[in-house]
Amino acid sequence: MEDTTGTIEGVEPLDLLSEGREISLRPDSGLIISYLDSCQRENIRGGKIVIGKAQSDVTDGNVSRKRISCDPAALALTPEQANQSATLVFRPAPLEDGVKFVMGTRRPVVIAGDLKDVLIEDLRKPGTTWSVVVVNGVADLTADRRILDRGGHYRLVGGGRTLVFQIGLEATDAPLPLLLRVIRF
């Protein structure tokens, strides 16, 4: 979940919501929910919500949906959709050795499962590391107001795993939908 407006019990921004969870909203309350598997972003106002796999089921409320360009693996098309689709591919510059991907934001958020914290290492500045607490499966790398450097190379470490990523030279520090800020760890 990206954000909330009004008072909503048991739900906070950056919570991971499980399929089937029910949430009741007063008419003056709202949520912004992003679905990682479908790249769907929903703005919901009032009503009863049941969290689905690809989108929410909303009763007695208003919902607007927008598809966000996100994880390409999540863009599986049905045969009917594939017959009506076209793609234009722009190939980015090759990634440096060890770098898995380049982020378009300087404010990434890590989906970290059951870890208690993740360690971030700035690979351009040996010895520069910091720890970020994981809350409900999510680590906001910029929670302490730290914005990552454009062109920076960073290593995530936690739970016996490591992942190296880069912040793009033209990465923005403007607010972006959560789906454009997510690192799956």
pLDDT given at position 16: 84
pLDDT given at position 121: 94
Radius of gyration of the chain (CA): 18
Architecture of domain 102-184 in this structure: Sandwich (2.60)
pLDDT given at position 94: 53
pLDDT given at position 76: 43
Residue appearing with tokens 């969290």: 51
Every domain of the chain and the residues it spans: 3-67, 102-184
Amino acid occupying residue 150: R
pLDDT given at position 131: 93
- Give dist(CA 175, CA 44) in Å, integer: 19
Q: Which regions of the chain are under pLDDT 50?
A: 72-78, 81-92
pLDDT given at position 72: 43
Q: Is the dihedral of CA 115, 119, 123, 124 positive or negative?
A: positive
Q: What pTM value is reported for the model? A: 0.61
pLDDT given at position 84: 46
Pairing of strands 161-172, 153-158: antiparallel
